[in-house]
Chains A and B, each alone.
Chain A
Amino acid sequence: MSTIIHEFTTKIPGWRPRVKPIKLDEATPEQLDALKVTPSNTKVSDYVLVLANDVETLKVRTPLFNAIMYNRGGMGRAERELSAVGASVVNRCVYCAAVHASRYNQLTKDEQVMEAIFADGEKAELDERQKAIFLFAAKLSKAPSEATEEDMQALRDAGLKDDEILDLILSASLFGWANRLMHTLGDPVVE
């Protein structure tokens, strides 16, 4: 029997849905197309099979997610992951925080930033640029009105260019989306 976990971790947990995933062998052609699989393919996560209940949104959302997190240019990959973690910590999405903290660690080979964030949240001791990015993502996530011109100025003072700031806004906002699916439609679990 699996157990729900409530504490932040960089070890990626499993995910147990609270609503029914679609069954691949009963999927419509449109669902299979959105999932980019054939009925014989069994390696589709329960999360994606849950989202396939709303196939029209899933179909457009997957390429949007990939573009925001992996597009060329703009803000670096690791900083987009930091932004995702900022949102996920505020929204207490343990699953998303684990996935994106572990990607950050892989990309930077530095585990201290995530350790500090999981231990101290918005009070974490980070360098100026990391702190500006993390705090902006966290405040925008709590409520859009919490992020202020001062927070935006802190990004500019830390040397972020317009294209980087746009990627930060997009990745933090994207996790306002992802957290509301992952955190509400299922539970992070360990066996």
Chain B
Amino acid sequence: MSDLSPNDIVIAQAGIGANGSVREALEGRADIMAMTQATHDAALKPSDPGGLSHGERAALAARVARLNEDEALAAHYMALLEEAGADEAVSAMADPAHDSAGDARRAALLAYTDLVSTHPRDTTPEDIEALKSAGISDADIVRLSELNAFLAYQIRVIAGLKLMKATA
């Protein structure tokens, strides 16, 4: 069995200490935690980002964390945004109140992200058509969806672990 990484984002964000019953359970699933970390890296910092830059990915991730009221996770993604050296227009996307009006592509990325992160049940075929109409390629639509989907997973694992710890 492999050990838990000392740099695991999910474990750090959930505030799981070096000992205790939650830590023990996580050690039993060290492989899953390592793969979770690997998917974080693949979704946020892929070697081929396609049409969705590292800066845009980090900004969208911070936005989704905020839409889910997880400020600590948003801070993690703001640090990634900084690291990516994104310009002001990209950084602005991290604020859920900002809609990138005037830039059809970014506005479409934000509208889709807001809907999928908070109300996935309400998505329709038209939401994908709106991305295509804004000039976003099929491959980039999949990249955007994977980013949103991974974040939904990560945010929920962190929230669940916090509850586990609180009741341990």
Contact = CB atoms under 8 A, between A and B. Distances in A.
A163 interface: yes
Interface string A12-37: 00000011100000000000000000
B116 interface: yes
**Majority secondary structure of chain A interface residues (helix, strand, loop or mixed):** helix
Interface stretch (A105-113, A125-133, A178-186): A178-186
A185 B39 contact: no
A162 B145 contact: no
Interface string B110-153: 00000010101101010110000000001101110110111011
B150 A177 contact: yes
Nearest to B31: A67
Interface stretch (B42-50, B78-86, B87-95): B42-50
Interface in A37-79: 50-51, 53-54, 56-61, 63-64, 67-68, 71, 73-74
Contacts of B138: 19-20, 53
A162 B22 contact: yes
Given A60-B35, A67-B31, A173 B156 contact: yes
**Majority secondary structure of chain B interface residues (helix, strand, loop or mixed):** helix
B144 to A, nearest CB: 9
A174 interface: yes
B110 to A, nearest CB: 15
B39 A60 contact: yes
Contacts of B163: 147-149, 151-152
A68 B42 contact: no
Interface in B147-168: 148-150, 152-161, 163-164, 166-168
Interface of A: 18-20, 50-51, 53-54, 56-61, 63-64, 67-68, 71, 73-74, 90-93, 140-141, 143-145, 147-149, 151-153, 156, 162-163, 165-170, 172-174, 176-181, 183-185, 187
